[in-house]
Structure 1
Amino acid sequence: MMMLPQEGLGRRAFLTSSMALTCSMLTACARPRQAQFADVDQLVRTAIRDGQAPGAVVAIGHEGQIVHRYVYGNRALVPQQEPMTWETHFDMASLTKPTMTALAVMQLVERGDLHLDDPVTCYLPAFGINGKGSITLRLLLTHYSGLPADLPLEDAWSGKSEAVRRAMTSPLANPPAEKFVYSDINFITLGLIVEKVSGLALNDYVSRNILTPIGMTQSGYLPDTSLKPVIAPTQYDEKNVLLRGVVHDPTARRMGGVAGHAGLFSDAHDMCLYAQALLDRLAGRPSTFPLKRETLLLMATPQQPAGKVDLRGLGWDISTHYSTPRGDIFSHHSFGHTGFTGTSLWIDPDSDSYVLILTNRVHPSGGHSVVKLRHDIATEAARDLGLTSHT
């Protein structure tokens, strides 16, 4: 197990220059921050010792810097123990939705190639059957489409073309715009729209238009086999093969590893770059975030149908029963998302802060809930930053 709390790690250049520091100097620099966030670190240690996850990487960003990072436990327990590291790559699961797919959609909206209140059938005519003709892109992005949670998985189908057929022919679970139901089919469909309109495979579009501009060199879909040693494994599949560098989500896996709802692999460094670029854009500072500020504001503010109490941005969660990673102190203007594998990112523009938590809680056999851990870390991080409750 490792512990790597350091101050001010917001840029790769700093990491390079910091290698010149002696160990004693680095320890001296780290002590104030380590003490400041000691309660966060204790929450992580306790959770891992209790078996909630094999290990964790936590990063807290504030006012343009990574003010604290903590690495503890193991990235793998089987077939042999491997220590967790800051450089560990994680299956980001549903964090793919807001960070990549929704951003891709909004880039195309910004360019005038898509329109939020157009029916999906403007782009995918086959989608309109079974009462889905009135579903718009905005309803997909906010999970108010009325679609069920996922494609049926009971039978052993495989292949992207079959996934497309099932998404296009899916029945409704609720009337469109009536109820918030978190649905992978929404983002599978959005990924297909990005591909149709851009003429690029989703992973190629994301690489060219999101990862490269931000500088996320350690992120992408379908990771090369050479990266396998640094990827945190998840769990055994239906054939008793340990998933490592292969997407955990069964629907994305059947689709070949690239989908609108899951498939991204990334590490803490790159996800901090993303969060910081996003905050910089919202704050009007120089930023590599590949979207205009006014477009990003649409993503990060409530966009659900009028009168609905479950608040969703365009891809981002704002205030629903999934919003526990906000904790008790971060602003109600904050937003974020989670991933089933044990990942989460919560961003608070009001305090210029974010909390990134990366675990592979499903390793090796399904794992335990980290819902309370996310909440408690966010609460303690905000308190340690000196923020006061929004209530």
Structure 2
Amino acid sequence: MSTIHDFLRGTIDKGEIPSATYIIGTSAQILEKGTLGQLGQGRAAVREDTLYDLASVTKPIVALAAMKLLQNGQIALDDTVATYLDEYRNTTKSDITIYQLLTHTSKIYGCVPLYKTAHTKEELLEAIVDMPDREKNDVLYSSQGIIVLGCIIEKICGKPLDQVLKEMIFEPLAMNTTMFNPPERLFGNIASTEYCQWRQRMIIGEVHDENAVVLGGVCGHAGLFSNIFDLAKLCVAMLTAKTARGDSFLSPAVCKLMTQNHTADLNLARGLGWQAKDKHGSPAGDLFSETSYGHTGFTGTSVWIDPSRDLYAVLLTNRVHPSRANEHIFKIRRKFHNLAVILSESQAIG
């Protein structure tokens, strides 16, 4: 067995995560892939095509749709939310820009459990408008901000967000098993997440994020389910700017704009929809280059891409199963990414 497989097996044996699927590769080939553990307590073993709740790894995929609109001249980064969403006109949030939403530098707070008081999609979206504004101009990770971005994309395209992503991203990249709200027939190969006290049941095949539940499972900040193969296709597209057919996916200029660090002088490193690599404590570990970028998800998922090394690493776990009271994933991710770089260097030497 490989060093990476042995490492992840050890984390499962110690009860730090219940399962993992992973894939590491370059724009030209897969270097290593593997599966370990069970879908959930008392369930079958995970497979290479097992679907995981991506949680916030949804965000950069939604941001890709925004960048496609930018490339097509349908939006500008300095456009304000009030340009597209009438409910923001004549409010204190009217001047928030798409750039601020993408870099998490807007005045919209994040990680607010709006589902506790908002019981419908309409109520939750209205609650975001009515939230108090934050005054600092630093980076504050805001799921609510990306919810707003998703609404803007829907307004511009005149279609639900799931349909927009299917047409703009999933079909061109042949990401055929990436979706919101997977049908029940697929539940037998979807990793369990958490026993949800709010819903009073173990969650399998439903979005884990509670705000996303109120939004119907289709929204900008969370809700996508996918597997390692589809996410590898996404990574290769980011490394090559090409679709599955070899057509242009993103122009080199737009790809560079999206993935560079836009907040180098602030508290956290952010691209446009992506996390850039922080100097200290990055989930990408110590060996991924300073130009690398990626995103993590609360459920235990992550995607990281290093254009300098022509390398990507995808790790999908359901670390919140059976409970979110488990923070081992932070050190696991860093070690996994360090081992991914070591693997790529050994392959290059070999």
TM interval, short-chain normalised:
over 0.9
Looking at structure 2, the residues matched to 94 and 63 of structure 1 have their Cα atoms a distance apart, in angstroms, of 24
**2:108 matches 1:147:** yes
Please point out which of 22, 31, 34 is paired with 1:58: 22
Looking at structure 2, the residues matched to 242 and 289 of structure 1 have their Cα atoms a distance apart, in angstroms, of 42
* Identity score, percent: 35
Looking at structure 1, the residues matched to 167 and 340 of structure 2 have their Cα atoms a distance apart, in angstroms, of 34
Contact 1:219–1:264 (CA under 8 A) maintained in structure 2:
yes
RMSD: 2.1
Looking at structure 1, the residues matched to 246 and 258 of structure 2 have their Cα atoms a distance apart, in angstroms, of 17
**2:318 matches 1:356:** no
Looking at structure 2, the residues matched to 189 and 346 of structure 1 have their Cα atoms a distance apart, in angstroms, of 25
Shift of 1:330: 1.2
Aligned pairs, number: 344
Please point out which of 265, 272, 294 is paired with 2:225: 265
Higher RCO structure (Cα 8 Å, ≥6 apart):
2
Shift of 1:309: 4.6
Q: From the superposition, tell whether residues 119 and 323 of structure 1 become closer, same or farther in structure 2 (CA, over 3 Å).
A: farther
Shift of 1:152: 3.9
- Specify the alignment match of 2:43 in structure 1: 81
Looking at structure 1, the residues matched to 279 and 88 of structure 2 have their Cα atoms a distance apart, in angstroms, of 29
Paired letter, 2:211: T
Deviations 1:295-331 (A, max 9, x none): 1111100223x73252211000013489623211111
Shift of 1:288: 5.3
Please point out which of 40, 46, 62 is paired with 2:10: 46
Looking at structure 1, the residues matched to 254 and 167 of structure 2 have their Cα atoms a distance apart, in angstroms, of 19
Please point out which of 184, 193, 201 is paired with 1:241: 201
Please point out which of 286, 295, 303 is paired with 1:328: 286
Deviations 1:272-293 (A, max 9, x none): 11111211128x9984563222
Looking at structure 2, the residues matched to 171 and 288 of structure 1 have their Cα atoms a distance apart, in angstroms, of 44
Structure 2 unaligned residues grouped into runs of 5+: none
Looking at structure 1, the residues matched to 206 and 248 of structure 2 have their Cα atoms a distance apart, in angstroms, of 28
Matches within 5 A, 1:23-172: 38-77=2-41, 80-99=42-61, 101-128=62-89, 131-153=92-114, 155-172=116-133
Report which stretch shifted further, 53-62 or 119-128. Answer: 119-128
Paired letter, 1:236: Y
Shift of 1:205: 0.6
Structure 1 unaligned residues grouped into runs of 5+: 1-33
Structure with the greater alpha carbon radius of gyration: 1
Looking at structure 2, the residues matched to 115 and 368 of structure 1 have their Cα atoms a distance apart, in angstroms, of 40
Looking at structure 2, the residues matched to 323 and 317 of structure 1 have their Cα atoms a distance apart, in angstroms, of 13
Paired letter, 2:135: N
Contact 2:115–2:124 (CA under 8 A) maintained in structure 1:
no
- Specify the alignment match of 2:303 in structure 1: 345
